[in-house]
Amino acid sequence: MSHPLDDSVDAYLDHLIEIRRVSAHTVAAYRRDLQAARAWLAERGHTAWPYVTTADLREYLAHRHRGGAKPASLARLAAALRSFYTWQMRQGRVEANPASDLRAPKKPAKLPETIDVDDLSRLLDAPAEDTLEIRDVALLELFYSAGARLAEVAGLELGDVDLVEGEARVIGKGNKERRVPVGRKAVAALERWLAVRDTLARAETGALFVSQRGTRLSRRSIAARMERWAVAHGLPVHLHPHKLRHSFATHLLESSADLRAVQELLGHANISTTQIYTHLDFAHLAKVYDAAHPRAHGAAEDDDAV
């Protein structure tokens, strides 16, 4: 028995609401997606869902894509169609799922934001006037020197940092340990912090960075103090720990172009994750080219000489 385009969508939405208890937001989004797909298919002469093919659905996604739909919206549409057809198969309304291999265009990777070297230097060279600021500068220097993640720095113990060797032991994703560099300026900042740390830290606290209460400084507090320092010293962009990690990777690649080394330093399991920084480096080069190359802006002004 063929089921018309008109009744299956409404029955499926009732199933989402009454049986699966899906959120009202998701139901509303699926309703819009499926009703729009049904209208488009009906305009093209389709009368029943079993006769819709994978090619039909791909054509519809392409139609939406040409109309300006964003990748996230197309991904949700594809998911709605897959789920809808899965339900229809369980109900015996269709024999196959033409949406099973339906995939939306990938969302373009967003390039990580970084901080200009000069802006960052001014921020890190700003003088610290009290114990908390000495700690905050040590944090900033360590993030930028090591390219470490927020959780990695927040979890550091006193014994994890070797200032003589200029390195720190961090525990990254998957509980994997790695050693990260601690540069000369970061070593100096940490030495200043360690000289005053005991005025805040409780005796039983082994954390490298502690709060005013003497306990381990939380991730949230680290991020808040970092942003406070940036605002106080006029940094023109928002600052958070991951932006310093991005800046670390980008500035290294601009100088060395050694992608494998940066992968190791960042603790990336797959080099494809690190390769995003090569795209950012090219974007930087393209910006420099556009600003400097005499032929980058169209027709150049006529020279006096012939």
Q: Catalytic amino acids?
A: 149, 173, 242, 245, 268, 277
DSSP conformation class of 49: G
CB 204 within 8 A of CB 135: no
Q: Give the HSE-up count for residue 189: Cα atoms under 13 Å, Cβ half-sphere.
A: 26
CB 219 within 8 A of CB 123: no
Q: Which amino acid is at 277?
A: Y
3-class secondary-structure state, position 102? coil
In the chain, the DSSP E strands lie at 161-162, 167-171, 177-181
The Cα 12–Cα 81 span in angstroms is: 11
| Angle 261-264-270 from CA coordinates, rounded to 5° | 110
* Residue 146, phi then psi, degrees to nearest 5: -100, -20
The Cα 122–Cα 19 span in angstroms is: 59
The Cα 209–Cα 215 span in angstroms is: 8
The side-by-side arrangement of strands in the sheet containing 167-171 is: 161-162, 167-171, 177-181
